[in-house]
Structure 1
Amino acid sequence: MTTPGRTASQAGDLIRQFNHDTITTGDGWQYPPNAYDAIGSLAYLVRMLPQAIEQTIRPVQRTHEQGRVTVDGGGDPMAAVAELRGAVAQAVTLAQHLSAAVDHMHSAASPLGLDTRGLPEFEG
């Protein structure tokens, strides 16, 4: 069974693979349009992060509403959930800023191209 936690883990694994794939240039990863495409995909991913972050606390909220949240060491559930909500709000704000920055990267990469003159693979 796939769970939201497992899906998020798989997304992390794919970003790790992307990081590995982009360490050096090579076929499919050597020209400005390759970067533009990848940045566009990253922009798409980052635009979805605020919603994903907000939705991660739904199980906590549901359990808290039922009065069933406990805190290790006997801490105050109300305070702990409030702290989590504050952390989520901060993460959402930062993700929105990251999204705007990556969208800006995508726009900045948009006009960049490749001068193919003298490159044998483009002649003919």
Structure 2
Amino acid sequence: MKRLMTIILLILILLFVSACGAKKVTHMGLNAEILEINTELKGFVVKSLDKDSILCEKCYISCESDNVYYIYADNETGETKDLSYNDYRVGDEITVDVNSVENGYSLTSRVQLITQRK
């Protein structure tokens, strides 16, 4: 009986470890500055503003998906405002959420404008 319980426990541990390994990790709130805006492919070339960021020196952030959420938060009033892709400019500081960066390319689900606008 004791041996059966040990085997069942080991199987459960293996299942748990394998299930956790399959999940994607989302890196949220990576700070970056927009260097270029590609209107044809709908994306940004950015440089990281954080030390040791996965975005590296230059990274292309694709915003092609219709599910990308664009937002702005006013630091003085605390109000948030929905934006569109066309509201961003070269030199803007942003935060982006990405799952991974491969060969200087990444997909995003959220872009938040950090640069404060009046």
Higher strand proportion: 2
Q: Which has the higher contact order (CA 8 A, sep 6+)?
A: 1
More helix by share: 1
TM-based fold match above 0.5: no
Question: What interval of TM-score do these two structures reach, taking the shorter chain for normalisation?
Answer: under 0.3
Q: Structure 2 length as normaliser, TM-score?
A: 0.23
TM-score by length of 1: 0.22
